[in-house]
Chains A and B, each alone.
Chain A
Amino acid sequence: MSPRQPHPELRSASARAGTALAAAVALSALLAGCRGGTSEDPPIHLVGDMDWQDKRLPQSESLVFADKRAQRPIDPRTVAHSRAHDDRARFLQDDDAYFHGVDAAGKPIARMPVEVDAALLARGEERFKIFCSPCHDNTGSGNGVVIQRGRGGFPMPVALYVERLKDSPDGEIFETITKGRNNMPGYAAQIPVEDRWAIVSWVRVLQQSQAAKIDDVPAADRGKILAAEKEGM
């Protein structure tokens, strides 16, 4: 046997190793496509020591309470006594006009206890589109997407710009948002008080805009609206 020639056994061994290596490369190339594939199994944490701590996060599960809510339901009699973002701190919400939309006699107030400016209207528009438009539609017509796609389940609400609602006091609209009316559920849990007043202001805008004439628009902006109308909006 010449010294240059490797031992036949070794030759076959190295061939086997070569094949194994090629297979490993092919396999890993195949597996590489599997990174981040969809899975129903919870993620594996290689070192999970402190990832799950013995504390309860919002809406997490508790082993202490029978209903498993770590976040305890608020007693309905609880009153938030102040809020950091509310510059007019109202101790124990002691302001019927602002928090309930009623006067001392319990009647809905005619005009909202909030100063109406462009910022409030903008906020009202945004909030209206988030919380009200699904049913009431962006225009307030009452033919929102829930009505359109609700398979007849949800009755169409009355248009927000009917005379009766135009004449209704601000406090009544506020109360309707808060507590709901007829088929509409109350939105107190989803919309904070200050946003409810902003929405009231926007409802007033929608009521005005339905009867608006082109002469009501500032001269500088008329061209924009006419152009949009031409485009078939």
Chain B
Amino acid sequence: MSRFLFPKWSNKVLPLGFFFGLGPAGTAVVAGVWYYGTNKHFEVGYAPEQPVPFSHKLHAGDMGMDCRYCHSTVEKGAFASVPPTQTCMNCHEKVLTTSPNLAKVRESWKSDVPIEWVKVHNLPDYAYFDHSVHLSAGVGCESCHGRIDQMPIVEQKEPLSMGWCLDCHRAPEAHLRDPKDVTKMGMLEASQKSGQPMARPADLRKPVPPQNCSGCHR
């Protein structure tokens, strides 16, 4: 019985297998995680269905209502509150009183049980974001939330990752405007197109955004 000898080509199995098999596969895994394992993929584009088909495009866009009519705590509080049913009923007590889209609003108004809106822009619980400081510094709504006035269904447009926050904290100039204009939509796009910074009084104190850990984490 002759001894078993590996054929000569078997010498190449390992290097070629590495080159064509493990190498590309490993690269694909690393590149895949690099590219997809980030908020730019997981967070951006989140557009949940809400219990009531409220359209920001209609209210904030077409009708031109100010963001703060409903999100009235945004200038003073850390949290930009979702309005209570009462705010809806300010108008809808009279307007579209039989619309099936508003059935849940009327039900909530009658029963005093809140509507369970789905939170779209949700930071991790260890990040302590404060809306009010950003507004008084002159960062507009659209810098983080995008063109809400064009969204029938609100969709997350920015990754809201720490790297994304820091990009702006290191060089905020492109996102600063007159604090009076924070709720104006379209200024950011216009400024990015033209390359001109947004209008801002020259005598305003330039904000110094924190870059240390405790700026956002406690």
Contact = CB atoms under 8 A, between A and B. Distances in A.
Contacts of B9: 6-7, 9-10
A190 B28 contact: no
Nearest to A122: B180
Contact of A153 (B35, B84, B95): B95
A52 to B, nearest CB: 6
Contacts of A211: none
B21 A51 contact: no
Interface residues on B, range: 35 or more
Contacts of A154: 91, 94-95
A164 interface: no
Contacts of A151: 95-96
A2 B43 CA distance: 58
A153 B97 contact: yes
Contacts of A68: 114, 116
B114 to A, nearest CB: 6
Decide if the interface of chain B is mainly helix, strand, loop or mixed: loop
Interface string B1-39: 000000101001000100011001000100110011101
Contacts of B89: 185
B207 to A, nearest CB: 19
B42 A150 contact: no
A32 B35 CA distance: 8
Interface residues on A, range: 35 or more
Interface string A18-60: 1011001000100110011111111111100011110101110
B36 to A, nearest CB: 6
A172 interface: no
B150 interface: no
A150 B93 contact: no
Nearest to A45: B42
B69 A145 contact: no
Given A10-B12, A153-B95, A134 B65 contact: yes
Interface centre among A6, A9, A55, A134 (most CB of B within 10 A): A134
B36 A50 contact: no
Interface stretch (A103-111, A124-132, A212-220, A222-230): A124-132
Interface in A183-233: 183, 185, 189-191
Contacts of A134: 63, 65, 69, 91
A155 B93 CA distance: 12
Contacts of A191: 72
B87 interface: yes
A20 to B, nearest CB: 8
B79 A146 contact: no
B46 interface: yes
A198 B47 CA distance: 38
B20 A39 contact: no
Nearest to B46: A43
Interface string B34-64: 0111011111111111000000000000011
